[in-house]
Amino acid sequence: MVVSLLSAFAPLSIAIFMKARRKDQMSILLLMTILKKHYNTHFIIFVTTFIFLLKSAQANSLSCNVQKCRN
């Protein structure tokens, strides 16, 4: 059950990776390399997806605040 839930994040994490900027892609690869030594693949996919979803949500929030300030 947990494995199937975590593996469901794989397409989402790939989409995030492909949409990410070059600098963010390098950060993702570095994070996955470090985590690979200690955790299994499904956990790594879950963690990287979660981190970059939070990061993109934060970036969207900041851009909305900037637009509101301009109006």
Express each pLDDT in 10-68 by its tens digit.
Answer: 666 666 666 666 766 677 677 777 767 767 777 777 777 777 777 777 666 655 555 55
- What single string gives the DSSP state of each residue in 15-35? HHHHHS-HHHHHHHHHHHHHH
Helix (H, G, I), strand (E, B) or coil at 45: helix
Domain count, the chain: 1
> Which of the 8 DSSP states describes residue 8?
T
pTM above 0.85, yes or no: no
Residue range of the domain that includes 9: 2-70
Q: How many Å apart are CA 63 and CA 17, to the nearest integer?
A: 21
